[in-house]
Structure 1
Amino acid sequence: MVISSKLLDDGETVVVGTRTHVKALVVPVVVLLVVAGLAGYLLTLPDGDRAGTWRLVIGVVALLVVLWFVLLPFLRWFSTSYVFTDRRLITRTGLLTRTGHDIQLNRISDISYEKSLLDRLFGCGTLVISDASEMGIRLADIPRVEETQLAVSRQLYRSSRPDDDA
């Protein structure tokens, strides 16, 4: 599950829960492969009295590059979640400092999506949510963005209809 059930109100159900698309991890994976290959090659070059020092320097630089350009983006991807419930949109992001944002569904006035050519190849897109404020919320790299937009639109329609039970 993308979000802990303790963050949901009593009777609140998840309509759509997702992270950003794994497309966000393509560049870190490429960086990891290049750094591993380059570091492996460079580690074979030093010889002589200072070979151990050079190998240590190469290893430390490679480790720092992997931590900064591979591990941090992965942790950002893993710690970001977007959840639409039958009552609200819940966004959570952050590694050390968690940031959360909730918008009640009755405040959402429009929901649309954008898909670039690359997004279409990967099967994702940007979900654009307009609410009462002037600035809309853009959720980038949402997997199956069209299905998500449709599911949320259906829930918005259901929540805006008066109850037929009365």
Structure 2
Amino acid sequence: MGYPTRLLSEGERIDLELRPHWKALVLPVIMLLVACGAAGFLLTVSPSPSKTSGEISWIAIGVVALAVILYFTVRPWLHWLFSNYVITNRRLIIRLGFVHRVGRDLPLEKINDVSFRHDSILDRMLGCGTLVVESAGEHGQVLLNDIPRVEETQREISTLISGDPAAGATARA
């Protein structure tokens, strides 16, 4: 599900399309496994559904398990799926959310500084981190968390800002 090219202006091309690093999905997957395991265990130790009390307990376990899975697994997955960071030769496009959609475009000529940081040793090992974009606009600093290949992304944006005509060649190669 890439960024629609119909939303680009004439002569604009996409250099990088990113979404948050896959590590953002590790905890939701663990929660899915824990919820399924706990529900399975509770179903085996609860009375059989042929009895009235057993039927109510099975329904309660199912409802609680479904609520936990929706909140701790499906919601973060949808957040990850609908978080898009697109870097074109003219702007940085940020699109977040599914129902409550938030968008922000930063023209590259308004960006003053781009830096990155690895917030943990795990971020450094995985190559992801936080991209810090400082713009001349009223919002100032924008933090983009869990960006994959954060150092390469920072270098690509810096190259595009400098106006190098060969910018983007490394991203498309």
- Tell me the TM-score normalized by structure 1: 0.91
Q: How many equivalent residue pairs?
A: 160
The within-5 A match list for 1:91-102 is: 91-102=94-105
- The answer as to whether partners of 1:90 and 1:101 remain within 8 angstroms in 2 is yes
Kindly provide the amino acid, as one letter, of the partner of residue 153 in structure 1: S
Deviation at 1:7, TM superposition (A): 1.5
Deviations 1:67-120 (A, max 9, x none): 011000000110010011000010001111211100110000110100121211
**Aligned with 2:56 (options 53, 60, 77):** 53
Q: Which residue of 2 aligns with 1:38?
A: 38
Q: Which residue of 1 aligns with 2:168?
A: none
User: Does 1:70 pair with 2:73?
Assistant: yes
> Within 1, Cα distance between the matches of 2:47 and 2:84?
48
Q: Which residue of 2 aligns with 1:5?
A: 5
The within-5 A match list for 1:80-99 is: 80-99=83-102
> Within 2, Cα distance between the matches of 1:2 and 1:111?
24
The RMSD of aligned alpha carbons is 1.5
- SS of the equivalent of 2:9 reads coil
> Within 2, Cα distance between the matches of 1:123 and 1:80?
19
**Aligned with 1:126 (options 118, 121, 130):** 130
Deviation at 1:121, TM superposition (A): 2.3
> Within 1, Cα distance between the matches of 2:156 and 2:73?
33
Kindly provide the amino acid, as one letter, of the partner of residue 6 in structure 1: R
- The answer as to whether partners of 1:2 and 1:18 remain within 8 angstroms in 2 is no
Please identify runs of 4+ aligned residues in structure 1 that moved more than 4 A. Answer: none
Q: Which residue of 2 aligns with 1:163?
A: none
User: Does 1:135 pair with 2:145?
Assistant: no
Deviation at 1:159, TM superposition (A): 6.2
Instruction: Quote the sequence identity (%).
Output: 44
Deviates more, 1:114-123 or 1:59-68: 114-123
> Within 2, Cα distance between the matches of 1:82 and 1:18?
5
- The answer as to whether partners of 1:12 and 1:87 remain within 8 angstroms in 2 is yes
Kindly provide the amino acid, as one letter, of the partner of residue 77 in structure 2: F
The gaps in structure 1 that reach 5 residues or longer are 161-166
